[in-house]
Amino acid sequence: MLSSSLMLRRFCCLCTAASSSSSPAPASSRTLPSTKKRLVFLGSPQVSAFVLDSLFNASSAPDSLFEIAAIVTQPPSGRDRGRKLMPSPVAQHAVERGFPSELIFTPAKAGEESFLSSFKVLEPELCITAAYGNILPTKFLKLPSMGTVNIHPSLLPLYRGAAPVQRALQDGVRETGVSLAYTVRQLDAGPVIACEKVEIDDYIKATELLELLFARGSQLLIRELPSIFDGSAKAKAVAQDESKATLAPKITPEESWLSFDQDARILHNKVRAFAGWPGTRAKVSVLDPKSGQHNIIELKIITTRVYGNNEIRSGQMDDIFFAKGSLIVPCGGGTALEVLEVQLPGKKVVNATAFWNGLRGQKLRKL
């Protein structure tokens, strides 16, 4: 991606070249200035690319009220095993859709002076954010004349912060949703323009729920854009009730470990919540009954459910056994967790049956 200063020089050169033309075009062939609102999109991961795609489609409609003037996303980062520097999914999608690369900004921080100078030249009227992953300082928020609107995957003021979907699933909620809110300096605390509730079951994972909520959020945004552009959205936006606010702090890799001393439902919710990244892990002991030797292995727990039969066989509270295609792990409070899919380090995800057969008669025990 081009640096902000280089993009600014290109933009200014184009403007200078256009204004210094010695022989202006005939009036009949001149292009009239666009009356469409200048919208800037900020987002980074794949779920943000879904939102951007909706905006691209809406902006290309004959009666569209806006054009996408620029895109702001996280800088290229090392992904996959090779750790090769790759542009964000949003940047990749924008280029694939034919969006000019010189209008894709990738500042390390949104408060960089070189970036803000380039951004100001664009004269943005409205900014839309969706999982951008960068704090927007006050000097940025002052630039778009119509403000900045965020798609947030929770029912604000619940679950403000970096991991709203993950923390909601970890808490075992049965209802969540997506909110469209104005961005203010305080984290996710701006007035709410609109929201949509979503009922969820006990099995949906964070990766699936994120896609669902941002898809709903895209529809909500397209529906509300006319009111945002004509100013009526600000009049109807509702201030959040601070007394009901809850936080959804960023997840750390250290949280990924499972403790089988906890209730099985707590563990199941954690597996769903941490799916994708950082995942959930557990250490178990593999015992060879013939030699008496045992090894400790690390398992990534991919898919689970709460075991319906609460009667764990006597004397096997530390033993992990196999039943009807699942590994049954005794947990705290007399509960048990069914593990349906696992992954060994450096290996592919396999179902519990394949993993159990691979043990070749060896036994599993909790640590």
CB 193 within 8 A of CB 224: yes
What pLDDT was estimated at residue 79?
65
Helix (H/G/I), strand (E/B), else coil: 360:
coil
Q: Quick one: tokens of 167?
A: 């923390």
What pLDDT was estimated at residue 78?
81
Q: Quick one: tokens of 40?
A: 């800037």
**pTM of the predicted structure, to 2 decimals:** 0.88
What are the pLDDT digits (tens) for 190-221? 999 999 999 999 999 999 999 999 999 999 99
- DSSP notation for 169-181: HHTT-SEEEEEEE
Q: Would you call 252 exposed, middle or buried from its count of C-beta atoms within 10 A (0-12, 13-18, 19+)? A: exposed
- Which residues lie below 8 Å from residue 362, measured CB to CB, with a gap of 6+? 286, 287, 288, 289
CB 95 within 8 A of CB 101: yes
What are the pLDDT digits (tens) for 11-62? 333 333 333 333 333 333 344 456 899 999 999 999 999 999 999 999 999 9
What pLDDT was estimated at residue 193?
98
What pLDDT was estimated at residue 317?
74
Ranges under pLDDT 70 in the chain:
1-34, 79-83, 310-316
CB 143 within 8 A of CB 120: yes
CB 178 within 8 A of CB 249: no
Q: What domains are defined for the chain?
A: 37-248 (3.40.50.170), 253-366 (3.10.25.10)
Helix or strand holding residue 68 (H, E): strand 66-72
Cis-peptide into 278, omega within 30 deg: yes
